[in-house]
Each structure stands twice: as C-alpha cells, then as structure tokens.
Amino acid sequence: MNDFGSGTVIEFFGAPGVGKSYLAKGLSSYFKANSVNVSDQSLAVGQMSRLHRLVYKNRIIIPMLVLKPRILWILLAFAFKAGVKTPAAFMRVLVNWLYIVALMQRELKHYGVVILDQGIVQALWSTVFRGRNVELNATAALIRSLLKACSAKQLVVVHLSLDREKHRVRLASRLHGCSPLDDGDCEKFQRGLLTAKSVGDVVSKLENGVENQLINNVYFENDDNANVSCLYGKLLNILSS
C-alpha cells in the first residue's frame, strides 16, 4: 500500500440525495485499485440495520469519551450556540457529531486515508438545518479542534451539486431514505438546499486557514454526464502532492 496522503480525511458533502454515498463507494474502489491504504467503514456502517448501527456507534463513542471527554464539552457548546430547536433534535445532532469524530479517530489509527459519505461538514449541515446559521470563527475553531483530536493532517471536502429537478427525482427514488428531506416536503427540500449552500460557503472560506491542518475544497456537479473518473484522479493527485 502507498503511504501518501497519510492522515487525510475525504468527505463528500451536499444535501441528502445528491450522490454522496455512490461517489464515496466509487472512490474507495478507485483508491484500492491504486494501492491506497483507505478506509470506507462509514459506507459499511450505512448498510447496517438500525439496531446494529446503534450498537456500533455506542461501541466506538464510549471509549473515545473515556479517553477524551473534552470532545463532548466542545460539541455541547457548539450545539447550544447553534440553537438546535428541540431536545430530540439536539440529542440527534450531538450523537451524530460524536460518532463522526469517533469514527475518524478510530480509522486514522489503521488507515492513511478515510473516506466519509457523512462527515464533519455534513454534521454541520445537520446542525444548521435543525438550528440556525453558525459563525465562521466558531466553525473554524470546531473543525480545528476535531481534526486535532483525530490526528487528521488534511481534510478534503468534495462539495457536490445537482440540478434541482434531478435532485428531486433522486430523493423520490431512494428506497431507504432516512434524511429529513425524504418525506417529499417542498419547504424542507428548499431549506435543505439553502443550508447546504450556506454551510458550503462557510467551509470554502476555511481553506488553508486552520493552523497547520490543510483544508482542500473540491467542487463537482454530479449530473448524468459527470466525469467521475476525472474527479477520482484529481483526488488521487491531492493525496500524492
């Protein structure tokens, strides 16, 4: 296996239904074919039953909190500031954050590159969707703290976009959708897109601005004619640069 890209997290980001899991799976296969030491555990977790997923999340979250309890307080403070509206939504957002951090920390111990279809930027989307917009400085501080806790050297965020009508069709065709946009509510759909744009804009401004941790932003229109191979090649080049 190649060692280049060691300590890199690659996250596909966008509103639910834009193709994150599909592209993450393809990238994982592409990297493995190119001898990259890559983890795609987030995809495997996504295929688990709800019960098995819950057990797995608890199994990796609890040891992390025992060793690094400060992470809990960092995330609690951020969720409070974000103004998540209900106790149930607050707990969902908090557990989601804890799981993502625990997964990154765990996988980076064994793999040079970790691919996520649901990562820290997507968790930020979930927080803002259920609360309100967050400040750039607060977001930068949070990402800096979480990357440091996971010993991640580089975060590559692949911002995905899609034609609005094609996006609606893809959402409607999902068999096991569990996102807040899967109920077909037009208002939620619009809010989800606006949230993705606002979060994406915030993260774009963080490029190369998080102390010694490098943030790369890559942008990709995931339509029917999308050159996926070109995207995968570009991401491989980022690892080797």
Q: Is the pTM of this model over 0.75?
A: yes
pLDDT given for residue 10 in this prediction: 97
pLDDT given for residue 139 in this prediction: 84
pLDDT given for residue 184 in this prediction: 55
pLDDT tens track, the chain, 241 positions = 556 668 999 999 988 888 899 999 999 999 999 999 999 999 999 889 889 999 999 999 999 999 999 999 999 988 888 888 788 888 988 999 999 999 999 999 999 999 999 899 989 988 888 887 677 788 888 888 898 889 898 999 999 988 877 777 777 665 455 555 555 567 777 777 888 888 888 888 877 555 555 788 999 998 877 789 999 999 999 998 7
pLDDT, tens digit (0-9, with 9 covering 90-100), for 60-74: 999 999 999 999 999
* 97 touches 149 (CB < 8 A): no
pLDDT, tens digit (0-9, with 9 covering 90-100), for 149-199: 898 989 999 999 888 777 777 776 654 555 555 555 677 777 778 888 888
List the chain domain ranges: 8-240
Contacts with 60 (C-beta within 8 Å, 6 or more apart), sequence order: 99, 102, 103, 106
Residue with tokens 């609005």: 164
Contacts with 207 (C-beta within 8 Å, 6 or more apart), sequence order: 215, 216, 217
Give the Å distances, CA to CA, from 123 to 4, 13, 25, 143. Answer: 27, 10, 19, 11
pLDDT given for residue 145 in this prediction: 86
Fold of 8-240: Rossmann fold (3.40.50)
